[in-house]
Structure 1
């Protein structure tokens, strides 16, 4: 089963040296000291990190010294190489508009599939997942929520997954992450409500978080309108969307709102410490780098003090007790790997049943690449199984 997606969130590159409103160093200083390196992590360098400048004409795949292509599995490297051939530039060399419109990994995936003689549109149609656009009310007016329903689901209300896309709260849309939403609908046999939300810099933090909670409450109240079961509603998200999903569960717990049935957190933004082992090892990784995260911080936060918000420091400033069961997925070539693993460990320590899975040889944003990257299919299958079991009320091992 194969399909394609559009993912501007993969347009990360390397540190430009451009001054930031909130620098990575300032962002990092708001959090507790880094946790010790994971047992399976590569040794970390002791020397001070020097951020390399990049050429404004370099493509993502051409930026020197990332090490990504050597560490990436063959299929992952093929997609990244194709993205470079299409001319995608490091995100921190771009304006917001340029970052939102330049060639995406979706274009790269489609190009790879075409190189293999496959028709991307036909592959997506073969999934047999229908979609319908609706809206939900927010403080900023209304926002889109796209409803994905597996056509072979049968009769009766289906469980619901409220899904939040990534993109650093700045770039990407529900279209960008359509592959992930469709895969979850198909494989978990659930309706996926893929949520759009206000983006920075037009709407600074915490606008996206406010919208995310509003969308969840809307789904609880309106699930019956699109064939969903309001008693079985999970949350899911990738990257910045993973942060939104976790925060929705926390807000539901603290606000006496029905808690989600399960949390699927895929390489979530979970802390503000940019000196973790994975930030050091993957500072120049592609498609997501330390510099790209600094760019997102600059565009998202209204003031440096916002980086101290518990919403952004899930691993150090939040009580995680009483949250629903969780699946946390990370990847090895990713600055966010350490904080994702730390979040899983903190959830387990708080008594939350949590499944943690890390995938070697793939990069940030791999989850939606199943047509081209084999580990994506594996991660989707595992996530869908966890969701199905949670919807069925089966206890999850801690």
Structure 2
């Protein structure tokens, strides 16, 4: 069978893209292939479940624009499909003078990005969150929490209702593009389509190279390790509590996050992963490790971030170091409060010269579109990202 469209990747971006294709082209034949045995099994199902506001991102970037729109549309989609979510707000807490200066710069960026933010002093911070301390904070009222697995499943239901076919357990090991079609094949079979979209996340660079794209980047996996606080601590905070991010780093730091199912989590940190899909601590995949450690861009990133990398590694190996990061803004936490929770793995695109790709990155061939970088806030932004991808596909 020759499909009109094939989508590789059953995370929220891939499923949202399949949904958007069928919304724009009713009656088209579409196949979605997912390597894992279920949808949303990787980045989508291993994040903090935050509906981001768009406060952090470079003004004018795709992240800044699509995150704001995505937050609104995610909430609208959740209401329409009876998916629980909560707009609990977020506090970004400055704990010293250097962070306070970065906080003020972030406040100015939020104004440029059109994000509603309230500037708080130390007294107001403690009044709102008695268990949190700092020299000041930004309050972002529109930030929320949701279960992105449920959003993905609701989108998948709409894909199937519109006639789309979803196949799980379908690893892709070869892509062959010809003048009139793209052939996708793997151990589970072979499929042909007129147009292909690859939203492969942790495997994005490999899919692009299979399709013949000459890319100068590599996906470097970073493990984000979480802890879960005990039930007695669930009421510790009412809002999401984040540190002030370091603009030189792509990660937001260890945060305290209520979840939509009633848990309270701490995390994530960011340590190099030696297995793109290995969630257990110490997981090593020889191919993944070889590709990362042999990539010049990784060595340049590591050399430029030695102190940060060593700190993250120390905090991964020693729970007390991790605890110290949390106690900077929530000093009453104890080592007994940190209970294990499954890690996540972030797909970070890195260029050969060591540049970290911060924005969403999409490349194309004559018949395919490849999402090469879609880190946080991709889950929040999935619906407008899908619009953007389909625009590229139809161009």
Could you say whether these structures have the same fold, taking a TM-score greater than 0.5 normalized by the shorter chain as the test?
A: no
Q: Which has the larger radius of gyration?
A: 2
More strand by share: 2
More helix by share: 1
Normalising by structure 2, report the TM-score: 0.31
Normalising by structure 1, report the TM-score: 0.31
